[in-house]
Amino acid sequence: MNRFYEASINVLIHADAFIDKLVGDEVTALFIPGYAGVNHAGKAVEAGKALLRVTGHGTAKGPSIPVGVGIHTGTAWVGSIAGAGGAASDFTALGDNVNIAARLASLARQGEVLISETTCKAAQIHTDGLEMRKLELKGKSEPVSVLMLNAS
């Protein structure tokens, strides 16, 4: 896991991401426009593909660890949160768009980057020839359209 965390952190820091949390086999990163810049969605997509590459996806040898990536773009509440009494605090993002990104990540198969249609538009990704899926996500009444990319 340390090798995965180190590779992930290096990719994400170089992509101007804010690393939200490392939990088990999951890394959550935020591409905040004020920090990552106006092309935050594009940087997130490139970082997702880079995560696959640094873990060996798309190589003859194969991955060192199976990784799937989910990316969604939208407004979220970002800031410090504190426990009862204010003793503990954390910096994180909350809201429906954060939940959509988490759901996409949980549905991404090994070697896939699932990108919401919203992110594709924000990143100005040309969708011709890309695989499109409609996914049923927990808590959403309508399917969410996503496109699938791989490490290349």
Q: What is the pLDDT of residues 97-147, one digit of tens each?
A: 999 999 999 999 999 999 999 999 999 998 888 999 999 999 889 999 999
Give the tens place of pLDDT for each residue, 7-32.
Answer: 999 999 999 999 999 888 889 999 99
Residues in contact with 60: Cβ distance below 8 Å, sequence separation at least 6, in sequence order: none
pLDDT, position 24: 82
| Measured distance CA(25)–CA(105) in Å, rounded | 12
Assign domain 2-149 to its CATH superfamily: Nucleotide cyclase, GGDEF domain (3.30.70.1230)
Q: What local confidence, expressed as pLDDT, does residue 44 receive?
A: 97
pLDDT of residue 135: 95
Is the pLDDT reported for residue 83 higher than 80? no
